[in-house]
């Protein structure tokens, strides 16, 4: 993929206790594109996102184009909260936007921005829905709305379609493609779903504590590279009318990576 590098990882390493989570990571994220970070569980994929956010202490350097840190939005894989709490999607977004408890009142500006964010991701109808009753796909739309409310230039997504059914996955991915163009976003997504990566990513970083390979998706997502990265057999299959690759190993877990 050609273009300006928005984020550059220069010999980035992360250590927790006696464990090296990331080691000497050298990679780039290109402006205006979709970069997918793939790798087995425990490869350090989530930690890489946290390092961009400044939430994981690291050695080496993470540099941004022009020396200016872009506005960053983040969609985590899951959010732990009390599903029995009487909090609607509107309450959740407005409280995060205004950054004070709702019992102090909901500011009109926070309500407006929350409503606009929900509409932008096609979730305006969920404004009054309790967060605890949302489906996986609906929950991800609300989290995406929250991430977009800060008008990010760089959007980080950790397993954005985990727990979403196939139809919902396609809708969510199409929405991301539309938002990328509409909002001039650069996307970085962690995913185990190689069909999603093949269909939507321009650039791929294969990570297993360090970068094993990186480059344009068609060049990187080969059976040989994937077998080397995961240590398993990979297969090809058709997805949505196009070619896609998916992991086909018995017993391979797709839970959030430990790193």
pLDDT in tens, 106-155: 788 888 999 999 999 999 999 999 999 998 888 889 999 999 988 999 99
The beta strand positions in the chain, using DSSP E, are 5-16, 19-30, 34-38, 59-64, 72-75, 154-158, 186-190, 203-208, 210-216, 234-239, 242-247
Q: Are 58 and 51 in contact (CB under 8 A)?
A: yes
The whole-angstrom separation of Cα 209 and Cα 125 is: 41
The answer to which of 16-20, 74-78, 103-107, 193-197 has the lowest mean pLDDT is 103-107
Contact 258, 41 (CB under 8 A): yes
246 burial (CB, 10 Å; 0-12 / 13-18 / 19+) is middle
Residue 141 to residue 75: CA distance in whole angstroms: 10
| Separation of alpha carbons 236 and 202, rounded Å | 19
Give the pLDDT confidence score for residue 256 in this predicted structure: 42
* 164 φ/ψ angles, rounded to the nearest 5 degrees: -105, 135
**Can you give the pLDDT at residue 255?**
43
At the topology level of CATH, where does 1-71+152-259 sit?
Rossmann fold (3.40.50)
203 vs 149: which has the higher pLDDT: 203
Rounded average pLDDT over 206-220:
95
Residue ranges per domain, the chain? 1-71+152-259, 82-151
Comparing 71-80, 99-108, 126-135, 177-186, the range with the smallest average pLDDT is 99-108
The predicted-structure confidence for 3-38, as pLDDT tens digits, reads as follows 799 999 999 999 999 999 999 999 999 999 999 999
Whole-angstrom Cα distance, residue 100 to residue 8? 35
Q: Find the range with the poorest average confidence among 42-46, 216-220, 243-247.
A: 243-247
């Amino acid at each position: 993929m050609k273009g300006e590098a928005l984020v550059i990882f220069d010999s980035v390493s992360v250590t927790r206790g006696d464990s090296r989570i990331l080691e000497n990571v050298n990679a780039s994220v290109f402006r205006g594109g979709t970069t997918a970070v793939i790798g087995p569980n425990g490869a350090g994929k989530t930690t890489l996102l946290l390092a961009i956010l400044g939430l994981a202490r690291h050695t080496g350097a993470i540099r941004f184009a022009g020396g200016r840190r872009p506005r960053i939005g983040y969609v985590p894989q899951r959010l732990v909260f009390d599903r029995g709490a009487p909090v609607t999607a509107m309450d959740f977004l407005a409280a995060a936007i205004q950054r004070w408890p709702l019992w102090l009142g909901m500011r009109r500006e926070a309500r407006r921005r929350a409503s606009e964010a929900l509409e932008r991701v096609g979730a305006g109808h969920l404004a009054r829905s309790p967060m605890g009753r949302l489906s996986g796909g609906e929950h991800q739309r609300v989290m995406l709305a929250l991430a977009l409310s800060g008008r990010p230039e760089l959007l980080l997504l950790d397993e954005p379609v985990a727990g979403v059914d196939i139809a919902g996955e396609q809708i969510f991915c199409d929405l991301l493609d539309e938002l990328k163009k509409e909002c001039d976003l650069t996307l970085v997504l962690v995913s185990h779903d190689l069909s999603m990566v093949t269909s939507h990513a321009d650039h791929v970083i294969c990570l297993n504590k360090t970068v094993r390979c990186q480059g344009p998706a068609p060049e990187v997502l080969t059976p040989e590279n994937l077998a080397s990265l995961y240590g398993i057999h990979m297969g090809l299959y058709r997805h949505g009318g196009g070619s896609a690759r998916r992991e086909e190993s018995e017993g391979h877990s797709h839970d959030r990576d430990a790193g």
